[in-house]
Structures are given as C-alpha cells and as structure tokens.
Chain A
Amino acid sequence: MTRRILPFLLPLVFILVACNPVKPDVITAKEAWGRSSPASAQNAAFYFTLENAMGNDDQLVGAEVTICDRVELHETTIDGQGVMSMQHIKQIDVANGATVRFEPGGLHLMCLGLKEELKIGDQILIGLSFANSDDIQVEAEILEP
C-alpha cells in the first residue's frame, strides 16, 4: 500500500515544500551603515537603502535598535541659504518598485540615547516596521568616522 502511494506522495510533499508560504522579504533593506562615534556621543545616525518589490505601496513607520533608548525617523533638509534643519517624521513612503535611500544630509534613523560607543567593524542590528508588511531586520556596519 505505502509503496504504491509513495510515488504520488513524495512529489506532493516536494510541491508543498516548494510552495511553503514562507514569505520572501518583500521589502528589503541593504547597505546599512553608521559612523563610529566619539565616546561622548549621545546619539547617532544610521543609513541604509530600502527596496520595495512586494507589489504594493508601503510606509516605514518605526525602527528599533537595542543600543538606543529611542529611534526616530528623521529627515535633514538644507535650504537655499545653506541652513540645515532636521525634522522628525512619522512615516516614510516606500512606494511599490521604489528605492528609498537613507544618506547623510537626507533621511536617516536618529538614535537617541546611545548606550554604547560605536566602534569600527561593529555590526548593529536594526529592526524596521512597516504599515502593511512584516518587520524586517538589517545589520548596519560601523565604518570609520
């Protein structure tokens, strides 16, 4: 009996495994980095690139880093007079198919209440939360200042 069923059962198992609803990371974060910090630093910034390939628009709504008391989404703007200003923003649009770059002088994660000194070569785990999809994690590499 089992011998007869096995040839049918095995492919079925393979198909089920292949179709296993392990969702691929529909939004991916890559090239995450931060700067090594002076010992006195009370905060830091993290940068990365988000890519949305999930077929729907989404929004980054929060972030978590264990060595920070609090993490906020910030955007730096520099006006025509060269004046720099930082804004705390509630959410960042990551439209379907879009690539959103966090970089110096623009979007960044503002880490408030930095608990540890950031040293060159450290890997810092960042958790990112979205409005419409699962949380993702990315490791930020600490680079020379």
Chain B
Amino acid sequence: MSTASSPNPKSRITISKRMLLSLALGGLFIGLFVGWLTIQAFSNRFGSPEFHGRVMQSLQPISDFTLTAHNGDPVQLQDFRDKIVLLYFGYTYCPDVCPATMAELSKAFDLLDPEEREQVQMLMVTVDPRRDTAEILGQYLGHFDPSFLGLTGSNEEIAAATMPFGIFYQKQEGTIESGYLVDHTASVSVLDKQGYLRLNYPFNTPGADIAADLSRLLEE
C-alpha cells in the first residue's frame, strides 16, 4: 500500500513546485512591465528630452567680442542678436574632429527650412590665427555651407572671445613632422536670439539632433 501511494505525493510536490516557479516568473514579468511603464511615465513627465544638446544657462547675455570675419568685416556678437548663433572654436589645419563637426552642422542646416535657416548663424572662431588667414577660413567654411562665417583676430581678441564659453586651446608643438596641432575644446555652443547661452553639443552630436533643437528654439 505505502509503496503504491508513494509516487502520488511526490508528483503533487513537483506540480506545486512548477506552479510556484511559473507564478514567480509571471510575477517577475508583470513587475518588470509595471516598472518599465512607471519609468516611461516619469521620464515623459520630468526628464523629457526636450533638447538633444546639454542645456546651459547664462544669467546675462554672453559678453560681446570683436573679431574680423573672413570677408573682412568687423563682427560683434551682438550683430546677430536677432538670430540663433552656433559657435565653434577650431582651426582649418585640423583634419579629423573639425571637418566632422562642420559636416554635422552643415547637415543640420540642410534639414532646416529656408525660413528657419535665415534665423540661424553659424560662426567658427579660429584658435590658430597664425595659419588661418581670412582667405583660408572663407574657403574652408564655404566648403561646408556658404552661410558659415569664419572669424579671426589677434591672439588677445580670440582669447577674450573664448572666455565666456569655457573654451580651452593650446598649441601642441613637435607632434607632427611639419607644423603643429592645436588641442581645443571640441564642442559647439548655441546662443538664443537674446544672446543667452542655451545649449552645448559635445563632439559627434548628429546634425539631425542639432536641427531638431534649433527648430525648437526658433518656436520660442
């Protein structure tokens, strides 16, 4: 008798174990799903990715600079007060990061409609005024977008222009056989129409993200 009944309780135990396991797994999936829903709801409400760029704040409009455009005109930051300004500090001798950044900015401009494009000005300030003559700057920027403006000036003028943006740059001698390279902060700053610092893009930000942000800023 006892031998015949022994398999029964055993199989009952295995069934309940199985049930427990499937219950646990089911519970886990439901838990994960609820958790995911909660995260979605919260991120939509609070961490909403309104801008792709890093959001920046300046208490005042960025202090002005005076530089010379590649067409010879003297240029001040406040000349663009009714435009959104994209500002990049770089140099034309730089073969890798600078053209990659210019290419993404050019893509961003292509994605804007003509009306939006008129309200955005891209400025590149050279951190290598010795080699970047007005002519070289003009040719370089024109290659990416005819509306891009290259700016140069004396060492002091350029240093003053970099200050409000926390831009670092330093000549690096002796790394290549001929000439020199310049280490520099590789980000793009965005000022709104009132001249306040609003966004910052680290290297490799896609042009589409920049265009989306610009459209958004223009709606303000």
Interface residues of A (CB under 8 A from B): 35-45, 69-70, 72, 74, 76, 78, 81-88, 104-105, 108, 110-113, 145
Report the nearest A residue to B133, measured CB to CB. A40
Chain A contacts for B136, CB-based, 8 A: 40
- Shortest Cβ gap from A13 to chain B (Å): 51
Bound form: Cα–Cα A38–B94 in Å: 12
Residue B186 is within 8 A (CB to CB) of chain A in the complex: yes
Residue among A42, A44, A70 with max Cβ neighbours from chain B (10 Å): A42
**Stretch touching chain A among B58-66, B72-80, B100-108:** B100-108
* Across the A-B interface, the 3 shortest Cβ-Cβ residue pairs: A38-B143, A84-B186, A104-B100
Bound form: Cα–Cα A39–B143 in Å: 8
Residue B168 is within 8 A (CB to CB) of chain A in the complex: yes
Chain A contacts for B135, CB-based, 8 A: 40
Could you tell me if A70 and B177 are in contact, using CB atoms closer than 8 angstroms?
Answer: yes
**What would be 10 A-B contacts, judged by CB atoms less than 8 Å apart?**
A39-B143, A40-B136, A40-B139, A83-B183, A83-B185, A87-B175, A104-B100, A112-B176, A112-B178, A112-B179
Give how many B residues have a beta carbon under 8 Å from the other chain's beta carbons.
Answer: 34
Contact A72:B177 (CB < 8 A) given known A44-B95, A108-B95: yes
Could you tell me if A72 and B176 are in contact, using CB atoms closer than 8 angstroms?
Answer: yes
Could you tell me if B99 and A145 are in contact, using CB atoms closer than 8 angstroms?
Answer: yes
In the complex, the number of residue pairs spanning A and B with C-beta atoms less than 8 Å apart equals 94
Could you tell me if A81 and B177 are in contact, using CB atoms closer than 8 angstroms?
Answer: no
Could you tell me if A76 and B96 are in contact, using CB atoms closer than 8 angstroms?
Answer: yes
Bound form: Cα–Cα A107–B202 in Å: 18
Residue B203 is within 8 A (CB to CB) of chain A in the complex: yes
Could you tell me if B97 and A104 are in contact, using CB atoms closer than 8 angstroms?
Answer: yes
Bound form: Cα–Cα A88–B175 in Å: 6
Could you tell me if A83 and B99 are in contact, using CB atoms closer than 8 angstroms?
Answer: no
Contact A43:B95 (CB < 8 A) given known A82-B187, A145-B144: yes
Chain A contacts for B38, CB-based, 8 A: none
Bound form: Cα–Cα A84–B100 in Å: 13
Report the nearest A residue to B142, measured CB to CB. A38
Could you tell me if A105 and B204 are in contact, using CB atoms closer than 8 angstroms?
Answer: yes
Contact A35:B202 (CB < 8 A) given known A70-B177, A87-B175: no
Could you tell me if A39 and B187 are in contact, using CB atoms closer than 8 angstroms?
Answer: no
Chain A contacts for B94, CB-based, 8 A: 86
List CB contacts (< 8 Å) of B194-220 with chain A: 202-204
Report the nearest A residue to B175, measured CB to CB. A88
Chain A contacts for B93, CB-based, 8 A: 42-43
Chain A contacts for B126, CB-based, 8 A: none
Chain B contacts for A110, CB-based, 8 A: 95-96, 176
Chain B contacts for A69, CB-based, 8 A: 178
Chain A contacts for B92, CB-based, 8 A: 38, 40-41
- Shortest Cβ gap from B111 to chain A (Å): 15
Report the nearest B residue to A70, measured CB to CB. B177
Chain A contacts for B95, CB-based, 8 A: 41, 43-45, 108, 110-111
